Structure 1
Amino acid sequence: MGDSWTRVCAAGELLPDEYRVVDVDGVLIAVYNVGGQYYAIEDVCTHDGGELASGDRNGFVLTCPRHGAQFDLRTGEALCAPAYSPTACFPVKVEQGAVWTRDDRW
């Protein structure tokens, strides 16, 4: 964790409106391409701990597939009940032709 970056995929493999989930030291991180910009959040709904990434996305708003909580991909902010706490956001970079992310919380 910390300074260690994890390769998500080749930059050309994550097209606009697509996402990938990667395991970063036991933390599942969902990386999204929204209009050519990359955003990464923890793949966990803070309402019940369920996975989040497969939910519907409208712009920057991701809806949990289980109970409908919504999160902002840019900030992780919980936008509506039943979630009240944000999910974690992570840095993303494009370097050496690949998309990278890391868990920088520690």
Structure 2
Amino acid sequence: MSAQRVCSASGLEMDTPLRVELDGIAIAVVKDSDGEIHAIGDRCTHGDVSLSEGFVEGKTLECWAHGSAFSLETGAALNLPAYEPVPVFVVQIDGDDVLIDPTVTKEV
């Protein structure tokens, strides 16, 4: 499968997650305060709730339900109650288009 356009880079609000779904896979797309764009699995590994409804701080996305934070760079759960990581997807930028292939995750 190839990367698919999910949004425009200029349309992403800083520190505001955007939920997208590609081929049945929910993904949270985030432009952090440095302007870097990340894509991680949108389901908290602790409570099975949407991470895109959570809070961005630096390079982390915090689950709104129970407070577990996940690294936007590695997907690692940074605090309890979650301990399992979420997948991190490769993001490609083509002009102003943000492209993600839901079958390609980052090696961390």
**TM-score (normalizing by structure 1):** 0.88
Q: Is the counterpart of residue 12 in structure 1 residue 25 in structure 2?
A: no
Alignment partner, residue 85 of structure 2:
86
Q: Which has the higher contact order (CA 8 A, sep 6+)?
A: 1
The alignment partner of 2:53 has SS state of: coil
- Alignment RMSD (CA, Å): 1.4
TM-score scaled by structure 2? 0.86
Q: 2:30 aligns with which of 24, 29, 32?
A: 32
- Return the alpha-carbon distance in structure 1 between the equivalents of residues 23 and 83 of structure 2: 26
CA shift at 1:83, angstroms? 0.5
1:73 matched to which residue of 2?
Answer: 72
Runs of at least 5 residues in structure 1 that lack an aligned partner in the other structure: none
CA–CA distance in structure 2, aligned partners of residues 12 and 56 of structure 1: 20
Displacement of 1:66: 0.8
* Count of residue pairs brought into register by the alignment: 103
Quickly say closer, same or farther: Cα 1:12–1:78, change in 2 above 3 A.
same
Contact 2:15–2:57 (8 Å) recurs in 1: no
Is the 1:46–1:87 contact (alpha carbons within 8 Å) kept by the matching residues of 2? yes
Letter in 2 for 1:79: L
Percent pairwise identity: 39
Runs of 4+ deviating beyond 2 Å: 15-19
Structure 2's unaligned 5+ residue stretches are none
Q: Name 1:46's counterpart in structure 2.
A: 45
Give the deviation of 1:15 after TM superposition. Answer: 3.7
